[in-house]
Amino acid sequence: MKRVLFIIMLFGMCLHFNQAHAQRCLPGMRGIQFTGGLSDNMRWKSGDGFGYHAGIAVSTYTKNAHHWVVGAEYLEKRYDYRGSLYPASQFTGEGGYYLNFLSDRKKTFFAALGLSALAGYETVNWGESRLPDGSLLTDGDHFIYGGALTLELSAYLTDKVVLQVNGRQRMLFGGDCGRFHSQIGVGVRFMIR
């Protein structure tokens, strides 16, 4: 009886110390992510310079938790003119590669650096060049292109849900609303395969 009890206790200890963790970030795994946050001046107040962004993307993991990201993003920044706010909006598509450079042993926390190509369309005041006071906007609508450098921190909340925090610097050419746009955002990624 003591021998059976000893074997059961030994087996229980082995199960406790060698727990199997779920497989995470395996090559070929995919997730859909939703992100949003503040842009440029990083103000919460909806006044001059207030900017925000929102995006959706699909991530596909490769070796060592590196991943490809393909998605779309909307960025809006508002400018004050005589007490009224006028929007400058950018619709961009993104394709990029994120290189994982730091993770814990259990694959719960990750830090990745991403480089992306961006292309899209920029519109100022939704194409309306005449303002209510009769002034004429000289900025117009343009196709834009460029890239982005992103630092992404992510943590698995469950095996299928990943929380993200990121900082990004976008550099875009072809538009009238500035070349550089800084972003800070949060997001969630749902692993779908």
User: Is 19 domain-assigned?
Assistant: no
pLDDT value of residue 11: 54
Q: Is 7 helix (H, G, I), strand (E, B) or coil?
A: helix
The residue that leads in pLDDT, 7 or 155, is: 155
CA distance 23 to 107: 9
Classify residue 14: in a domain, yes or no: no
The percent of residues above 70 in pLDDT, for the chain, comes to: 77
> Which ranges in the chain belong to alpha helices (H)?
2-17
pLDDT at 26 over 90: no
pLDDT at 72: 96
Mean pLDDT of all residues belonging to the chain: 82
Number of compact structural domains in the chain: 1
Name the residue range of residue 166's domain. 27-191
17: in domain: no
Residue 85 maps to which CATH number?
A: 2.40.160.20
Confidence class of residue 89 from pLDDT cuts 50, 70 and 90?
confident
pTM of the model: 0.78
Q: Which helix (H) or strand (E) holds 84?
A: strand 84-103
Strand partners, 84: 81
Q: Which residues of 91-102 are buried (b: 16+ CB within 10 A; e: fewer)?
A: ebebebebebee
Token pair belonging to 189 = 């990624």
The Cα 114–Cα 96 span in angstroms is 7
| 144 is a domain residue | yes
- Residue recorded with tokens 């199960």: 15
pLDDT computed for residue 19 by the predictor: 44
Question: Is the pLDDT higher at 126 or at 157?
Answer: 157
Q: List phi, psi (to 5°) of 16.
A: -70, -45
